[in-house]
Amino acid sequence: MPTERTLSIIKPDATRRNLTGKVNAVLEAAGLRIVAQKRLHLTTAQAEAFYAVHAARPFYRDLVTFMTSGPVVAQVLEGDNAVQRNRDVMGATNPAQAAEGTIRKLFAENIEANSVHGSDSAENAAAEIAFFFAGTDIVG
């Protein structure tokens, strides 16, 4: 399995409930290494740009409002098969459908306030990592 990097975001519903450490513990227990991490408060323009792929979806404006409602923690995760590994440990987008032990099953409030984001492909991971981090910010 290739060593990969993926972009993770701990969302405002989780930072609001002081769950950053608990989310990180689940990520690390799943074999993912946090090789870059920063806490920031997204601007509306940043959230719109990050989720531009969803611009036509009915939930887009609510998603942008939610993602700017409090701090997020952007992270680069590294590990074998990191993109899929992170998606597995996050669980389904809708926490009602998420498997036991996944981050969204453990912590998410609903399909929007679902605690974490993770890149869905290696190609998108590279673009999403570059959205938040310079190469020199990432220490493997």
In the complex, least distance from residue 57 CB atom to ligand CMP, rounded to whole angstroms: 7
Q: How far is it, in rounded angstroms, from Cα 22 to Cα 28?
A: 10
Nearer to ligand CMP (CB atom), residue 3 or residue 94: 94
In the complex, least distance from residue 25 CB atom to ligand CMP, rounded to whole angstroms: 20
In the complex, least distance from residue 135 CB atom to ligand CMP, rounded to whole angstroms: 24
Nearer to ligand CMP (CB atom), residue 37 or residue 114: 114
Nearer to ligand CMP (CB atom), residue 59 or residue 131: 59
Given the residues 117, 119, 125, 133, select the one marked as catalytic. Answer: 117
Q: Which residue is nearest to ligand CMP (CB)?
A: 117
* Residue 48, C-beta contacts closer than 8 angstroms, at least 6 positions apart: 55, 64
Q: Are 85 and 35 in contact (CB under 8 A)?
A: no
Largest CA distance in the chain: 38
In the complex, least distance from residue 131 CB atom to ligand CMP, rounded to whole angstroms: 13
Long-range contacts at 44-47 (CB < 8 A, ≥ 24 apart): 44/68
Residue 117 appears among annotated catalytic residues: yes
DSSP 35-83: EEEEEE---HHHHHHHTGGGTTSTTHHHHHHHHTSS-EEEEEEEEETHH
Q: How far is it, in rounded angstroms, from Cα 28 to Cα 24?
A: 6
Nearer to ligand CMP (CB atom), residue 114 or residue 139: 114
Footprint on this chain of ligand CMP (rule: CB under 6 A) = 54, 59, 63, 93, 111-112, 114, 117
Q: Which residues participate in catalysis according to the annotation?
A: 117
